[in-house]
Structure 1
Amino acid sequence: MKSIKTFVAVIALATVSFGSFAQSVTAYGSHLDTAEARIAAKAQEAGASSYKITSARVGNQVYMTADLIK
């Protein structure tokens, strides 16, 4: 029973530490290029080495979400 509790604690701590590195940002723009430029600026401001765009919706404006990679 103690080993199960230890295993669960290790998994929980590993998940929390991994989640603390992930950061997502959003941006609006009139075009895809504008929204991506804003994402790039936010990534640079946050000190991220790169970013991965996870979603983009186009309507009257472009709404874009990205995960920052540190």
Structure 2
Amino acid sequence: MKNIKTFAAVLALTSLSFGTFAAEQIGTVSVSGAKTLSGFESQVAAKAQAAGASSYRIVSATGDNQLRGTAVLYK
């Protein structure tokens, strides 16, 4: 009986923790022309805020003198 209660508790906590990480992807943005990584991130953050995103994930950033890349937006 104790094993069943423990299993049920673990199952409940697992389902709750997966639910907290669920985020809906609402789109992607492209950024170009930034001179530094912090400038690149600032541009991404501005575009994410304008799109109404609550968070973002930078997927790619490349370049030598001018950075360009993409980010995924989440709500």
Relative to the length of structure 2, the TM-score reads 0.61
Q: Find runs of 4+ consecutive structure 1 residues off by over 3 angstroms.
A: none
Q: How far does residue 46 in structure 1 lie from its aligned partner after superposition?
A: 0.4
Query: Paired residue for 1:49?
Result: 54
Who wins on radius of gyration, i.e. which is larger? 2
Identity level (%): 46
Q: How far does residue 22 in structure 1 lie from its aligned partner after superposition?
A: 3.6
- The count of residues paired between Structure 1 and Structure 2 equals 50
The structure richer in helix per residue is 1
Gapped runs of 5+ residues in structure 1? 1-20
Relative to the length of structure 1, the TM-score reads 0.65
Q: CA RMSD in A?
A: 1.1
Gapped runs of 5+ residues in structure 2? 1-24
